[in-house]
A and B are shown apart, each in its own frame.
Chain A
Amino acid sequence: MDELMLDGNAIAGMLTEVFVVEMTTATMTCGNCGTSGAVGAMHVFRGAGIVMRCPYCDNALAKIVTDGTRMWMNFTGMQTLEITR
């Protein structure tokens, strides 16, 4: 367990700015192990960019990079993202 690790709450502002709806209560389903959980409970790492990982299998669910204007997002590790409008 890494003391540097955060959770989805840490990137709530960034995500909500993009998706407009509340994101920490959105549900992610892991494409690797099939576990579902709230974005707020997902593990978040800050590397060169942001990586969101499944708390059960460490699979990279999402990668996010931004230069302040452009944002690159990869969700291929996630099977489904469920948002409530």
Chain B
Amino acid sequence: MPPILSRGFRGRREDAPPGRVPPGQYVTRDFPVLSAGPTPHTPLERWDFTISGEVDEPRRWAWEEFRALPSEEITVDIHCVTKWSKLDTVWLGVRVDTLLEGIETSADYTVAFSDGGYTTNVPLEDLTGGKAWVAFSYDGEPLQPVHGGPARMLVPHLYFWKSAKWVRGLRLTAVDEPGFWETNGYHDYGDPWREQRYWGD
């Protein structure tokens, strides 16, 4: 039975310039908080970011070391698989290219891992070439814990579940290792412009 229409219901959707928003998405001015688990609260003294796996030598940055790396301001649109898109979001972050500088690897894939156990897989080439950051500031403020602070992945060309909150590192892998959601129905790659939300899309 088709759903019954609700007379006059529109929801809280914003208009967007044509072609700006991927198919099936709605624009919001809010920043909805979605989470797979409780908000971690790792003290900065204990925080680190590591790159490990298929590398010649693992790398590790403590918070001060991470913040001393060159960073940049980025303005991007973000697209959540639950259908909301947020335009022109402003972040400060360290390019993943910077973190990978000088690292030798034969790996083609990565797994981003976070406090709380969340993981998500992204091909290495989707994190490089200026396409991804580890972000520590949103909208001019330090990244709040509910939005993934102190630092999260920012991979805006893919659905936002690929931008792991509370990220603690990247593991470089020889084969693709589907993560927390990719093993349970969500698409392995997640391109919003091809509407790759679920398995088989």
Residues of A within 8 A of B (CB): 1-2, 4-5, 43, 45-49, 51, 53, 58, 60, 63, 65-67, 70-74
The CA-CA distance from A47 to B180 in the complex, in Å, is 11
20 A-B pairs besides A46-B35, A60-B36 with CB distance below 8 A are A2-B35, A2-B38, A43-B38, A45-B35, A45-B36, A48-B34, A48-B186, A49-B184, A49-B186, A51-B37, A53-B37, A53-B38, A58-B37, A58-B116, A63-B181, A65-B181, A65-B185, A67-B198, A71-B185, A74-B184
Chain A interface SS verdict (over half):
strand
Chain B interface SS verdict (over half):
loop
- Give A56 Cβ to nearest chain B Cβ, in Å: 12
Does B183 touch A at the CB level, under 8 Å?
yes
**Residue in A closest to B82 when the chains form the complex, CB atoms:** A48
Query: Can you name 30 A-B pairs with beta carbons within 8 Å?
Result: A2-B38, A2-B39, A4-B35, A4-B146, A43-B38, A45-B36, A47-B35, A47-B161, A47-B181, A48-B36, A48-B80, A48-B81, A48-B82, A48-B161, A49-B36, A49-B184, A49-B185, A51-B36, A53-B37, A60-B117, A63-B180, A63-B184, A65-B184, A67-B185, A67-B197, A70-B185, A70-B198, A71-B185, A72-B184, A72-B199
